Structure 1
Amino acid sequence: MTIQADLSEIHKLRALSESVGDFIRYWGFRRIHGEIWTQVFLSKTSLSGAELTQRLEVSKSLVSPALSELEEYGLIIMTEDGKKTKRYSAAPNVVSVIKDILKEREAKIIAEAQKQFEALDKIHQKRGDQNSLLETTRLEELGQMISLAQFALGFVIGQSDQESLNYWTEEAMKAQSE
């Protein structure tokens, strides 16, 4: 490592990277994506693949494809240091990147759920409550949940990046103090 750090900082950084990795697995990424992104995002300097493998104590074959994928998503930016070594820095506007991912993936997932719901609801309406296998009230509630998810996602995506970050940070701080 180019910057000397004590072992406790290195271990705590690795533990945080692993936690972020666990968290973003729920978003459809792999744990290594979160681990790498956390290291790159928090680093004072850009990092090479070799430095990341050392920091995370993982193989190059695990890090290399993950770096390419994070670069494709726009979460990290690759530069060369003049010695053919690729170095990685975090994208300057993470909120914008997250919103793009939400538009690309989650919005499509919710839209597909809405489409499937409407098809089922149409059949349910045609058959009538008496002849259907479905509980009408619960079907309506599910439709409302899907609509709420679409609304909430649209709300988050529709806010300006700084407005989003400030608003959600403020709300999170309020929730923590309660």
Structure 2
Amino acid sequence: MKNQISRKEDKKSTSQAEIDKLRALSESVGDFIRYWGFRRIHGQIWTQVFLSKTSLSGAELTQRLGVSKALVSPALAELEDYGLILMTEDGKKTKRYSAAPDVIPVIKKILKERETKIIEEAKDQFEALSKIHQKRSPQDSILEEDRLQELGQMITLAQFALNFIIGQSDEDSLACWTQEALKAQEE
């Protein structure tokens, strides 16, 4: 009897440890995803839904994340609009959410719609500045010529890298991309 209680307590503490670590990971992904123009809650919710064995309700997500329903509800709608999560209703009309099976097309769509415009704007602004700079003599300019050219190269490289990612086949899996990234990292 005592061993049975001890095993239940061990199982409960292991389960709580997993829940705590999952919440910590969700927060980290939330912090990371903010740099991509999303809110922290988007990353937190997506991580929970992506890693869950079963679909989750809004109430389960608020409990898991320790946040309010008012924060979770609009974020769920936004993630659904992006196609990162899918909504279903159970027999009780409770909305439940699961992760989209393939995030690569979603990521590419977001990059194409948002980041492409940002880089194009930077390139346009760079070209406008370069035209003005070229009309001035080196003594009259406030710009360092070599650094101006280097910045132009960075913008071109960023545009090339983005176009490369967007141009990859949708059939390429996340595992394939990861494998290629790891190979490049080793070199």
Same fold (TM over 0.5): yes
The amino acid of 2:80's aligned partner reads E
The answer to whether the 8 Å contact 1:156/1:164 transfers is no
Post-superposition Cα deviations, 1:102-158, rounded to whole Å, max 9, x if no partner, equal 111111111100010010001111223232211111111100000000000111111
Structure 1: tracts of 5 or more residues without a match: none
Q: Which of residues 110, 126, 132 in structure 2 aligns to 1:101?
A: 110
Structure 2: tracts of 5 or more residues without a match: 1-11
Q: Give secondary structure in 2 for the equivalent of 1:77.
A: strand
Separation in 2, partners of 1:87, 1:169: 30
Residue 88 of structure 1: aligned partner? 97
Aligned residues: percent identity?
Answer: 78
TM-score, L = length of structure 1 = 0.91
Task: Give yes or no for the alignment of 1:27 onto 2:36.
Answer: yes
Calculate the aligned-residue CA RMSD, in Å: 1.9
Residue 126 of structure 2: aligned partner? 117
The answer to whether the 8 Å contact 1:21/1:34 transfers is yes
Aligned 1:41-56 pairs, distance under 5 A: 41-56=50-65
The answer to whether the 8 Å contact 1:114/1:143 transfers is yes
1:60 deviates by 0.3
Q: Give secondary structure in 2 for the equivalent of 1:88.
A: strand
Residue 25 of structure 2: aligned partner? 16
C-alpha distance 12-61 of structure 1, shift in aligned 2 (>3 A)? same
The amino acid of 1:11's aligned partner reads D
Q: What number of residue pairs does the alignment pair up? A: 175
1:177 deviates by 6.6
C-alpha distance 85-104 of structure 1, shift in aligned 2 (>3 A)? same
1:167 deviates by 4.0
C-alpha distance 173-148 of structure 1, shift in aligned 2 (>3 A)? closer
